């Protein structure tokens, strides 16, 4: 995983990867929970299945996955950040299905072939360059039984927009950042996921995108996540005056504090069968 350009984006864990700290990840999950849970529901996870959460972070997807597999199923999870593994283990202690959380890398999963009925990999491909993404998908295909499901979900930065303000402010930022930032480039690659799944040899590949739309007045989680996230982008925006209002989340002139404020992002789910 490429870490060299992540410090400026902020919210890193011990891995050095941006936007992986539990505080900001939890705020993002809480802001987008209806969209996230809708996309998880599209995977088709069944009671009694053994499901892998690959790149589980702090474990916010573990409760709904455990709810889907039930007491007859089980969940395994891996993450590369020690603190995320510890947090996810704590959070999974009283779930309706047994959960085992381990330290591990999605490009070299610590499981035998055909171990799972399904694999779920959410908000993780944004940290992988193209070659690493191919390795990860090969690993997911390897550990999922024939006929099982591989599901990959991530944010598509090309869909982010906010009002009031210039309509292409976010798109132009990510396009300008992409040549020098692998992270920005990978956040713009998300709607190509279906092509990578097909290249990995998965069958019945499907892709679906859902907009997560947020209108003022924002919830505390929305204010926390989008206020801080937009401030980090503004700090990198090469002194573009259109970004200046976002620098201070509590500034009354911040567009996110306008009475008719709006922000949205698209989340993409690509699925295939092993």
Q: Which two tokens stand for residue 83?
A: 């603190």
In the prediction, which pLDDT does 1 show?
41
Task: Note the pTM of the prediction, 2 decimals.
Answer: 0.96
Cα–Cα separations (whole angstroms), residue 196 to 125, 138, 222: 11, 10, 32
The DSSP secondary structure of 190-203, one letter per residue, reads GGGHHHHHHHTT-E
**Distance separating alpha carbons of residues 249 and 226, to the nearest angstrom:** 9
- Would you tell me how many other CB atoms lie within 10 Å of the CB of residue 185? 20
CATH number of 7-157+182-213+264-273: 3.40.50.150
Given a cut of 80, whether residue 5 has pLDDT beyond it is no
The model's confidence at residue 4, banded by pLDDT at 50, 70 and 90, is low
Radius of gyration of the chain (CA): 18
Q: What is the pLDDT of residue 2?
A: 46
Alpha carbons 245 and 16: distance in angstroms, whole number: 28
Residue scoring higher pLDDT (10 or 205) = 205
**Residue 251 pLDDT more than 90?**
yes
Q: How many CA atoms lie within 13 A of 215 on its CB side?
A: 1
**pLDDT: which is higher, 117 or 8:** 117
Tens digits of per-residue pLDDT, 67-119?
A: 999 999 999 999 999 999 999 999 999 999 999 999 999 999 999 999 999 99
- pLDDT for 55-81, tens place per residue? 999 999 999 999 999 999 999 999 999
Tokens of 55: 């790149």
Which sequence spans correspond to the domains of the chain?
7-157+182-213+264-273
pLDDT tens per residue across span 165-222 = 999 999 999 999 999 999 999 999 999 999 999 999 999 999 999 999 999 999 999 9
Residues 24, 29, 31, 36, CA torsion sign: positive
pLDDT tens for 140-162 read 999 999 999 999 999 999 999 99
């Amino acid at each position: 995983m490429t870490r060299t350009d992540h410090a400026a984006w902020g919210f890193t864990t011990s891995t050095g990867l941006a936007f992986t700290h539990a505080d900001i990840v939890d705020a993002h999950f809480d802001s987008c929970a209806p969209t996230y849970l809708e996309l998880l529901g599209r995977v088709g996870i069944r009671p009694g299945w053994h499901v892998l959460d690959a790149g589980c972070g702090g474990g916010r997807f573990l409760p709904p996955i455990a709810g889907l597999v039930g007491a007859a199923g089980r969940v395994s999870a891996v993450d590369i950040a020690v603190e995320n593994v510890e947090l996810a283990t704590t959070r999974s202690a009283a779930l309706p299905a047994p959960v085992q959380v381990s330290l591990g890398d999605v490009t070299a999963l610590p499981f035998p072939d055909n171990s799972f009925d399904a694999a779920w990999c959410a908000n993780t491909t944004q940290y992988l360059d193209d070659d690493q993404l191919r390795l990860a998908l090969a690993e997911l295909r390897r550990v999922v039984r024939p006929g099982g499901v591989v599901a990959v979900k991530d944010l598509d930065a090309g869909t982010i927009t906010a009002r009031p303000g210039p309509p292409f402010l976010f798109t132009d930022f990510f396009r300008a950042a992409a040549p020098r930032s692998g992270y920005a480039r990978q956040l713009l690659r998300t709607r190509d996921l279906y092509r990578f799944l097909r290249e990995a040899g998965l069958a019945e590949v499907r892709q679906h995108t859902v907009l997560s739309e947020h209108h003022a007045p924002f919830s505390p989680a929305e204010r926390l996540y989008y206020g801080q996230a937009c401030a980090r982008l503004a700090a990198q925006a090469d002194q573009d005056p259109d970004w200046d209002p976002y620098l201070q989340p509590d500034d009354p002139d911040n567009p996110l504090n306008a009475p008719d404020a709006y922000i949205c992002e698209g989340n993409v789910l690509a699925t295939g069968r092993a």
